[in-house]
Each structure stands twice: as C-alpha cells, then as structure tokens.
Amino acid sequence: MLSELKILLIDDDHDHLHDIQVILEFIGEECLSATSENWQQACQQPEHLLAIAIGTHQHYSSLSELISEIQAVSKTLPILLTGDISYSGDLPNDLQTQIVGRIENPPRYNSLLEVLHACQECRGNRHVMEDGQKPLELFRSMIGSSQAIQDVRKLIEQVANTEANVLILGESGTGKEVAARNIHYLSERSDKPFVPVNCGAIPGDLLESELFGHEKGAFTGALSARQGRFELAQGGTLFLDEIGDMPLAMQVKLLRVLQEKCFERVGSNRTIEADVRIIAATHRNLDKEVAAGNFREDLFYRLNVFPIEMPALRERQDDVPLLINELITRLEKHDRGSVRLSAGAIASLMRHDWAGNVRELANLVERLCILFPYGVVDINDLPEKYQYGDGIQAYESPALVQHIEANESQPDETEEVSATTVESFNLPKEGLNLKEFMAKLEVDYIRQALDESSGVVAKAAQRLGMRRTTLVEKMKKYKAMLN
C-alpha cells in the first residue's frame, strides 16, 4: 500500500466507522476518522490521503453536497462509498467521476484489496498529472522462472501479435493486468494506447457512458460531451478488467461492439468505428457464471478465443524469492526505502498460502520496508500469520538455495557486502538514530550468521569476516538484544 497515505473515514455511525477502521488497519492501512461535521479538520493535507471513504453523513442534506465540498479541497482524491451509502443516478457527472468504488458491508478481502488498488492507481495517475512524477512502476515485467510462469509467457508471445481477443483468468493479485500490458507491449499496437477499465469498480449505470462516451445533455449531469474508453483506445488495446462483474445489460451492448466493431456515444446516433483489441480479465469462474445465468454465453465465447490462466502464487512458490527481490528493487527505485529479508524469513514466506497472491506479497514487502527501514527482517519479525515453523523445510527448494547462493556469491564477503549494501541506503526523510540503527543491523547480521551456522561461533565469525574472539565480544555486548 502507499502506506504513508492514510484513508479518511467520514461516518456519523460510530459502530460502523469503528468496524471499517479495524478491518482496514488489519490489512495494514492507516486511517483517520471523522464525523460529517468535523471532517475538514482531518482533511487539511489531502496530499497525505489515499482516499476518503464516506459513510453516514447527517450534517449534509445529500451526498452530492458532501462530495462537492470534498472537491473544493481536492478534485483528484479518490472517494469510496461504504456500507449502504448509495447515490441516486442524478449525481452530477463531475462528482461521480471521483467515486472510485465501494467498501462493502461486511467487506470482502479481495474486493477490498481491489478497491484500494484502484485508489492507488488513481493516486499514481494524479501524481503524473499534478507534478509530472512517474507513479510507482507497477507493470514493468512479469517476474518468475517457474514452469507455470514460463508457460504463461509463451502464450503471451504466441497471441500478442494476433488480433485475437484474450481472456485472462486467475485469482485476484496474480498479475492479470501485468499479463494484459505485456500482450499490448509485444503487439503491433504498442505505440497506441493501452486503456484499462475496471468493470467491477464503475457503477453499472455509469459504465455505458464510461465505455462509449456521451454527448452533451445525454443525461442529467452530462454537461459536456465526453469520449469513452473505446474512443480513447482507438488503434490500441482496451483492457476490460473484472469483466465477470459487468451487468448483463452492458454485456449485450459490449457483444454488439465485438460483433459489429462499431458503437455510438450515449445520446448520439452517429456510429463510430472501433479499431480496438479487447483483452478481458476476471477472477471469477466464467463457466459457472454462465451456468448461473450471470454471464452471457455468446459473449463468453466471443471473449474466450484465447484464454490464459494466471497461476496462483501458492502454485509457484519458487518464484517468491525472485518476486521479493523485484518488489524491493521497485521500492528502492522510487525512494520508498528498502529492507532485506533473512533466508529464514524468505523460506517462511514460501510456505504461505497467499490468498491475495503477488499483490498481498507486494503489500507485505512495502509494510516491512516501513516497519524495518533499511533493516533485516527475520522470520520472527514477520506478522504472525506469515510465520511457518523455522522455515527449514523450504530450504530444500532449489530456488531458495539459488537465492541464498546469489546473495552469498558477492566476492570477499564483509567489505564487499557492506559496500554494496550501504550504497543503496538512503537516509529516511525523518532521519534516524544512527547508533541504534547500526546496533540493530549488527545484531541482525550476527543472529543470521549464527542461525545459518547452527550456532557454531567460529563458522559464524567466518561468515561475518571477523575473528572468533571479536564475535564473542560482540555477542556479550549484545546479549540482551540477541536473546
């Protein structure tokens, strides 16, 4: 998560606010809470917020009134609706566009991650728009050397340069969007736009104008004409994410575009040609959705020309160390701190079930970076649910052995290791207590060396490039911290 950013919860229903706050904090988000009367005090630095979540708002006669006031503070801050809060279709369009999604009651883990991810993406775009900075690079490459990921890569290469529609399936956080962007960048359309739409996050009644655009006055609130995503993707690729959540009425309209390759803006009868390649994705089992009558069979066949199944992270545990490295590198590149993980911690993470897949891993790594800035995270430092025994079993995994060896293979241990590591250290914005930090670093490395040497001090001393007696001295000095 963009963890320095907080979520502001506005809710006059104290119990509801408390419930949502507990859940968000549980998954690592920091929250500020406020009532609809005093929220502005908590919103004085909107640049420090990830999103505003709106619940009961008695101080306002309508939702649009509250949103207008939020817009007076920031026009780009993502807004989430919580619980039963809904808006009638007459919310003006410019107010609607800021609403990114909904936190359900009770929240479901995956959809909560999705909606927070959507907020992050909005914030990322906002940074591009407002200060020309690049957002955290989410989709550079598809990391992994497991057979499962190699198979996916092969499929992507095969299909990229065709015009075939692609359907990407897989659990949330498995990299469906990464795959979609890879297909686009490997295709002849790569110099044209890649336009993503999250069909699940955009309320049903807005989806049509979002996809096809609208003319001025097409509906209340359509104050000006607007291009839809199909037009924006002209010549490029349209990524219909969470297609399984598209309402049936929209499915019919989409099918028509796929068949006839043309569409009209809402409120217009001028036909526009669509030269757009479609990549769709969903975490749902579409066969089941078709059987249950929630998804049109004809549309399913249109989309399912070339299915690609993204493997769950638990099915490619060997990629966990590689992914951790990549995720840390991304954070370092964006000056968001750094962290190292001990072999035991990595081994433990390889045994985790990863319900949220790579996204969950990315969130964890980012959290560790904040909790242990520039430190070494051992298995006991991991949140409890990620701790699996002593991690010994996974030591046998070839990928882990490779990872450890890669880290060990830096020539002439101590000097080189510290030199390379220190190079990548940036002084955190808030500064740090150098003495404490160095002590902790020393203790962490000593602990690791001892662990790896099964407590044989001479061996550990060798690993640390120091004399045995020096290590014994240090162990005495740090006795309390080492135990």
Which stretches of the chain bind ligand ADP, using CB under 6 A? Answer: 138-139, 142-144, 170, 172-178, 326, 358-359, 362
Nearer to Mg ion, 80 or 168 (CB): 168
Nearest-approach distance from CB 118 to ligand ADP, in angstroms: 10
Nearer to ligand ADP, 43 or 156 (CB): 156
Work out what residue 358 binds among ligand ADP, Mg ion, none; the CB cut-off runs from 5 to 8 Å by kind: ligand ADP
Q: Please tell me the number of Cα atoms within 13 Å of 204 on its side-chain side.
A: 11
Work out what residue 173 binds among ligand ADP, Mg ion, none; the CB cut-off runs from 5 to 8 Å by kind: ligand ADP
Nearer to ligand ADP, 179 or 443 (CB): 179
Q: Which residues pair with 8 in a beta bridge?
A: 32, 52
Task: Determine phi and psi for 270, rounding to 5 degrees.
Answer: -85, 125
Nearer to ligand ADP, 102 or 214 (CB): 102
Nearest-approach distance from CB 241 to Mg ion, in angstroms: 5
Nearer to Mg ion, 11 or 177 (CB): 177
Which residue minimizes CB distance to Mg ion?
177
Nearer to Mg ion, 118 or 155 (CB): 118
Nearest-approach distance from CB 14 to Mg ion, in angstroms: 34
Nearest-approach distance from CB 80 to ligand ADP, in angstroms: 18
By CB under 5 A, residue 360 contacts Mg ion: no
Which residue minimizes CB distance to ligand ADP?
175
Nearest-approach distance from CB 138 to ligand ADP, in angstroms: 4
| Encoded amino acid at 400, one letter | L
Nearest-approach distance from CB 181 to ligand ADP, in angstroms: 8
Which long-range contacts (C-beta less than 8 Å, at least 24 apart) are formed by 416-424?
Answer: 421/340, 424/332, 424/338
Among the listed ranges 62-70, 176-184, 251-259, 294-302, the one in contact with Mg ion (CB under 5 A) is: 176-184
Nearer to ligand ADP, 178 or 276 (CB): 178
How would you classify the pairing of strands 271-273 and 262-264?
antiparallel
By CB under 5 A, residue 121 contacts Mg ion: no
* Four-CA torsion 116, 117, 118, 119, nearest 10 degrees: 50
Work out what residue 362 binds among Mg ion, ligand ADP, none; the CB cut-off runs from 5 to 8 Å by kind: ligand ADP
344 neighbors 378 (Cβ within 8 angstroms)? yes
Nearer to Mg ion, 124 or 267 (CB): 124
* Among 122, 128, 142, 434, residue whose Cα is nearest residue 308: 142
Query: Taking phi first (over 0 means left), then psi (-120 to 50 degrees means alpha), and beta for anything else, what does residue 170 get?
Result: left
Nearest-approach distance from CB 133 to ligand ADP, in angstroms: 18
Work out what residue 138 binds among ligand ADP, Mg ion, none; the CB cut-off runs from 5 to 8 Å by kind: ligand ADP
Work out what residue 174 binds among Mg ion, ligand ADP, none; the CB cut-off runs from 5 to 8 Å by kind: ligand ADP
Nearest-approach distance from CB 422 to ligand ADP, in angstroms: 27
Nearer to ligand ADP, 365 or 446 (CB): 365
Nearer to ligand ADP, 17 or 197 (CB): 197
* Among 77, 50, 54, 76, residue whose Cα is nearest residue 65: 54
Nearest-approach distance from CB 177 to ligand ADP, in angstroms: 3
Nearer to ligand ADP, 111 or 174 (CB): 174
By CB under 5 A, residue 215 contacts Mg ion: no
Task: Determine phi and psi for 79, rounding to 5 degrees.
Answer: -115, 135
The most distant pair of C-alpha atoms in the chain lies apart, rounded to whole Å, by: 86
Nearest-approach distance from CB 313 to ligand ADP, in angstroms: 8
**Alpha carbon distance 96, 88 (integer Å):** 10
What are the C-alpha distances in Å from 381 to residues 52, 306, 368?
31, 43, 9
Nearest-approach distance from CB 464 to ligand ADP, in angstroms: 33
Work out what residue 143 binds among Mg ion, ligand ADP, none; the CB cut-off runs from 5 to 8 Å by kind: ligand ADP
Q: Please tell me the number of Cα atoms within 13 Å of 441 on its side-chain side.
A: 16
By CB under 5 A, residue 177 contacts Mg ion: yes
Chain residues that interact with Mg ion, rule: CB under 5 A: 177
